Amino acid sequence: MKEYESLERRFREAATVRSIAAMLGWDQETFLPGKGAVWRGEQLAWLAGRQHRLVTGEEIGAALEVCAGYFPEEGREATNVRGWARDFRMASRIPVEYVERMARLTSEATHVWAGARKAADFSMYRPILEQLVGMAREKADLLGWEGCRYDALLDEYEPGSTAAAVEELFARLAPEIAAMVGPAVAAAAGDGGWEPSGHFPVAGQQAFNREVAEAIGFDFEAGRIDASNHPFCTGLGPGDTRLTTRYDESNFLSSLYGVLHEAGHGMYEQGLDGGQWGLPVGEACSLGIHESQSRLWENHIGGSDQFWEHWLPRAAHYFPQLSGCSPHAVAAAARRVSPGFIRVDADEVTYDLHVILRFEIERGLVGGSLAVADVPEAWNARFRELTGLAVPDDARGCLQDVHWSFGGFGYFPTYTMGNLHASQLMAAARGAVPGLDGEIAAGNYSALRGWLREQVHMHGRRWSPEELMRRATGEEPGVAAHLAHLRTRYLR
């Protein structure tokens, strides 16, 4: 069909433009000199405008009307047409002028945020955050919403989800988590309190992290690891997936678990159908599903005693001070429940409290009930309610995450969705893969990785997140598997 072929060409070209912008974004986070930020914003604005023009226009809408209902519902072409229709509908509501303006602003904001975070000074970030919040509200209004303005932004990252549904989810989850924290902290105290000590050179961390990432299945012929202020993964195209982490020479576990997390994302990108790259059937289902892959490898695998039964000797090869430690002691230190300030370093039990806080702050900002000037005070007060801790400075408070700087309002709830999906997928994998824990203890991950590729990666955007989870696990997505996992691991 000529209309379908025309759509495929246009959307593949748009994906190529997007991948070039992603490459410049990766460079911005890793190697771009500070004085290059303004020009980088102009480059990204031009590319954003070009991509937007490719996926909008009357001819796109006309071709989609011809293609609608033409192909078998479960087929590749129908998946693409549905995905294109959604993308076209959303993009058509946003003027190209907005897209270009946002690209310039987020490029600058990322640079400003890095400086403000380093100085632990919210006042440096406040003026540009006010602009970002204003643009988030403008975008939500352009997209359209009924329940609340936040819904329009959340739907971009997790199709079909709403703020009300997230609020209901958190209302069920938060009391259960709060009840676990005290007993889990007490149980952790019974593990002997071993902590990494001494000097862990960056070179040793890099070598060890690469061994682990390669063993679990990240393909270094199709990717790499670099350093950044905030760990992230970006899939630039077939055969090019970039990971970053950050290093602490007093604690090798920080960079290791950052790599495990981002490699989970990276293996999802590498597990997509490269032949369908740039088309909905070759793209990730949602951010919640994407996050399930990172949290599964970071927590369910990396946080297990079985993982350290295999990897402790290799860790001791790079860091001799680990000689004589037991696998259980290192695993217990890695997963120790201890409420802290930094989300990316948070333990499994308290992690979702960080997400709840950010959701509440974001919803207030976007809805207009919270002024940008009041963010630090609101953040610190709510954080103390949730964890009992007094935030010492802005760097360990409201400035710790980069997401607002790239316009990611609506992003944070997907982290908790990822936790829930990861637990449900891992429970299903244990039922489907005989002897899985023994395989993990032996350092063999191919069976688990193959199961995830078959159940999750290869399907792209063929189904909604809920339908994908139903097909992969045989159950409706929910909180039960995650709560059962936390109780089994942390309460005894």
Q: What is the pLDDT of residues 67-76, one digit of tens each?
A: 998 998 889 9
Neighbouring CB atoms inside 10 A of 165's CB total 15
Give Cα separations from 291 to 11, 127, 150, 245, 453 (angstroms).
25, 31, 20, 16, 15
The verdict on 122 and 168 lying in the same domain is no
CA atoms within 13 A on the CB side of 251: 11
pLDDT tens for each residue of the chain, 492 residues long: 899 999 999 999 999 999 999 999 999 999 999 899 999 999 999 999 999 999 999 999 999 999 998 998 889 999 999 999 999 999 999 999 999 999 999 999 999 999 999 999 999 999 999 999 999 999 999 999 998 999 999 999 999 999 999 999 999 999 999 999 999 999 888 777 788 999 999 999 999 999 999 999 999 999 999 999 889 999 999 999 999 999 999 999 999 999 999 999 999 999 999 999 999 999 999 999 999 999 999 999 999 999 999 999 999 999 999 998 999 999 999 999 999 999 988 999 999 999 999 999 999 999 999 999 999 999 999 999 999 999 999 999 999 999 999 999 999 999 999 999 999 999 999 999 999 999 999 999 999 999 999 999 999 999 999 999 999 999 999 999 999 999 999 997
Contact present, 378 and 249 (Cβ < 8 Å) = no
Question: Distance between CA atoms of 256 and 299, rounded to whole angstroms?
Answer: 12
Nearest CA-CA partner of 252 in 192, 312, 189, 184: 312
CATH of the domain at 233: 1.10.1370.30
Between the alpha carbon of residue 485 and those of residues 178, 426, 432, the distances in Å are 15, 9, 17
Q: Cβ(204)–Cβ(252) under 8 Å?
A: yes
In a domain, 23, yes or no: yes
329 and 386 together in one domain: yes
Q: Which residues of 323-350 are buried (b: 16+ CB within 10 A; e: fewer)?
A: eebebebbbbbbbbbebebebbbbbbbb
Predicted local distance difference test score (pLDDT) of residue 190: 77
Task: Identify whether 353 is part of a domain.
Answer: yes
CA dihedral 65, 67, 72, 78 (to 10 degrees): -90
On whether both 97 and 235 belong to a single domain, the answer is no
Are the beta carbons of 363 and 140 closer than 8 angstroms? Answer: no
- What's the token pair of residue 453? 């590729």
Question: 233 pairs with which residues across the strands?
Answer: 243
Same domain? For 59 and 180 the reply is no
Q: Are residues 261 and 407 in the same domain?
A: yes
User: Are residue 205 and residue 270 in the same domain, yes or no?
Assistant: yes
Same domain, 73 and 203: no
Domain containing residue 393: 163-490
Q: Judge whether 144 lies within some domain.
A: no
How many angstroms from the chain centroid is the CA of residue 31? 22
- What does the DSSP assignment read for 237-293? ETTEEEEEE---TT-HHHHHHHHHHHHHHHHHHHHS-GGGTTSGGGS-S-HHHHHHH
Across all residues in the chain, what is the average pLDDT? 96
Q: Quick check: is 132 in a domain? A: no
Q: Are 290 and 261 in contact (CB under 8 A)?
A: no
pTM of the full structure: 0.95
| Catalytic (active-site) positions | 262
Domain count, the chain: 2
Q: Please tell me the total number of residues recorded for the chain in this structure.
A: 492
Beta carbons of 277 and 238 less than 8 angstroms apart: yes
DSSP designation for 145: -
Structure tokens at 425: 């997928």
Does any domain span residue 146? no
What is the rounded CA–CA span in Å between residue 277 and residue 16? Answer: 9
